[in-house]
Amino acid sequence: MKGKFFAIEEAKAFELIERTGKMMPAHRGIDRRCFIVGEYAVLSTSRLKLRNVDVRDDKLSHLNDIIEKLLLLEREGVNVVPILGYCYDPDSMDGEGFLIELRARGAEMYDDAMICKFEAWTQDNDEVYLKSDADCAEYITNRTRELALAPQAHYDKFIADMLEIMKRDILIDFMGKSNFFYDREAGFQFIDLDTHTDSHYGLCEDTISNKEVAAIGGFAPCHFAEGTSAFAPIALVPSALAELGEVRLAALAESNSLIFEKCLAALKANGVSDAVLDKTLQRLKVFDRRCC
């Protein structure tokens, strides 16, 4: 195994990786499993040589650039979870290996395994890679209420940090709600940051300003209703939500409306203009009482 270690000792990194061999993953995604070892998170991956899904990075120069930027952002007080180091099999086709990170504080903003059964993209898909046997109706109601009660200062920093991350040309995946964590003291944290924006790789022209992107991504803590265009795959589907019942649906709508107002205020506080927001809101349909 070949590796590079930025903010962790090599021996410690390999010790953590060895320990995962006797553990069950705490979380799993399409191409990753996440093992929690004390204060660390060890992520197994089969695509370390690929950035932004399919851009080859055989020398891992793009990955190294991202890691250095994340460590700098953390030192500057931005709530990112930096990558401390990695190791991989250099002879594997796409790079089988591990990323070592610090463990994020708190829990997922929303656990995708819990809420995906209510979302549009899973309705005709029997092979959803994220599944949970827990009470998803209870979870989405309670978690949405918890986030609705989060202080405005946490939402303000969420947007401020988002703009700082994008300024470094780092891609934020707003579609996965598990790509953000929330802690009552630390606020919102950004995880799964290991690729650049499309324009960095020449995949598109950089024609959208960071504030225009933030005007959409800044509403990530919200749930969306059918008819939204910006977040269509994760829109809540009425037929799936039926199991919540009228009381829970009303509570969910009320909490979500509070979150929407806090996101909107945070975007304005961070300099996103009314003109940009008006344009964005035409693409969003936020879940509220009218959807119940």
pLDDT, one tens digit per residue, over 153-207 is 999 999 999 999 999 999 999 999 999 999 999 999 999 999 999 889 988 887 7
What are the boundaries of each domain within the chain?
A: 2-102, 107-291
The residue whose two tokens read 């979380």 is 27
Residues 31, 41: Cα–Cα separation, whole Å: 16
Structure confidence by residue, pLDDT tens digits, 232-256? 999 999 988 888 999 999 999 999 9
Above 90 in pLDDT, residue 15? yes
Q: What is the rounded average pLDDT for all residues in the chain? A: 93
C-beta contacts of 11-20 below 8 A and 24+ residues apart: 13/84, 13/85, 13/87, 13/100, 14/87, 16/40, 16/42, 16/100, 17/42, 17/87, 17/98, 17/100, 20/44, 20/98
Between 130 and 216, residue with greater pLDDT: 216
Phi and psi, residue 35, nearest 5°: -110, 130
Q: How confident is the model at residue 29 (pLDDT cuts 50, 70, 90)?
A: low
CATH architecture of 2-102: 2-Layer Sandwich (3.30)
Q: Please, are residues 84 and 101 in contact by the beta-carbon 8 Å criterion?
A: yes
Strand segments (E) across 204-276: none
Q: What is the mean pLDDT of residues 123-147?
A: 85
Residue 48 has pLDDT above 70, yes or no: yes
pLDDT, tens only, 83-129: 999 999 999 999 999 999 999 999 999 999 899 989 999 898 777 76
**Could you tell me what percent of the chain has a pLDDT over 70?**
96
| pLDDT score, position 30 | 60
Supply the pTM of this predicted model: 0.94
**Eight-state DSSP code of residue 48:** T
- To the nearest whole percent, how much of the chain has pLDDT over 90? 80
d(CA 134, CA 139): 8
Contact 34, 25 (CB under 8 A): yes
pLDDT for the residue 221: 98
Q: Which two tokens stand for residue 270?
A: 């961070």
177 close to 140: Cβ distance less than 8 angstroms: no
Which has the higher per-residue pLDDT, 83 or 135?
83
Amino acid at 125: N
**β-bridge partners, 41:** 36, 101
pLDDT tens figures, 31-40? 678 899 999 9
Mean pLDDT of 210-222: 97
| 218: nearest Cα among 141, 283, 130, 291 | 283
Confidence check: pLDDT of 131 > 80 = no
Phi, then psi, of 146 in degrees rounded to 5: -60, -45
Show the tokens assigned to 220: 């990530």
| Predicted pLDDT at 130 | 66
100 and 42 Cβ atoms separated by less than 8 Å: yes
15, HSE (Cβ side, Cα atoms, 13 Å): 8
Q: What is the pLDDT of residue 25?
A: 76
Q: Are 178 and 110 in contact (CB under 8 A)?
A: yes
pLDDT at 219 over 70: yes
